[in-house]
Chain A
C-alpha cells in the first residue's frame, strides 16, 4: 500500500520570504501522480500544484514550485515571496496511475503554515 509522510506538522515563514514544505512517499509503482493541496481555515481544499511521475521537469505555478526526486521518493513544495494569504494547511497527496486504480487520493497528515507579517 502507498503511504505519504509529511514530517513537519507546523512551519512558519516571514512575509516575502521563501519556505519549503517536505513530503516523502512510499510506493512500488513506477507511474503515479503527486499533488499539493491547500486547505485554508474553514475553507475548502484547493489544488496548488501537480506533478506527473514520468516527467523529469519539476512543476511550477507562479510562486509555487516543487522539487521532485523520484529515486528518493521525495516531493517538496517551495513557496516563494510568501504572502499572508498563503497561511493554511498544506497536504501532499499521491494518486496511482495503475490500470485498476479508481483515482482516489492518498494524503499525508498535513503541514500547518503560518505567515508572519
Chain B
C-alpha cells in the first residue's frame, strides 16, 4: 500500500518554465521529504519539511505542506535540462513505524 502518491506521473516542460509536482498521503506525518533520482542512480535528498512547517525554500526549490489536506507540492522554478529526473516524496509517520515510505514518483523531463 502506498502512503504517498505523486501527481502527475510524468511531466514534460521547456527549459526556463516552472515545474510543479504534488504529493498526497494518507496518515498524519512527522515530516515529508522530497528526493531526486537521476536515471540509473541512487536517490538524493532535496528538502525535508516538518509537520509544523508550511513552506520551505532551497535555491530554486519551494516545498509547501498542507496537513489539513494531507498534501505537499514541490515547485522547481526556472527549470534546466539538468533537472530532468524522477522526483519522489517520502513520509515519516508513526502509523508506518517511523520509517520512510515512498510514493511512485513523478518523471520530469525538461527540454532544451
Do A and B belong to a common assembly? no
Residues of chain B at the chain A interface (Cβ within 8 Å): none
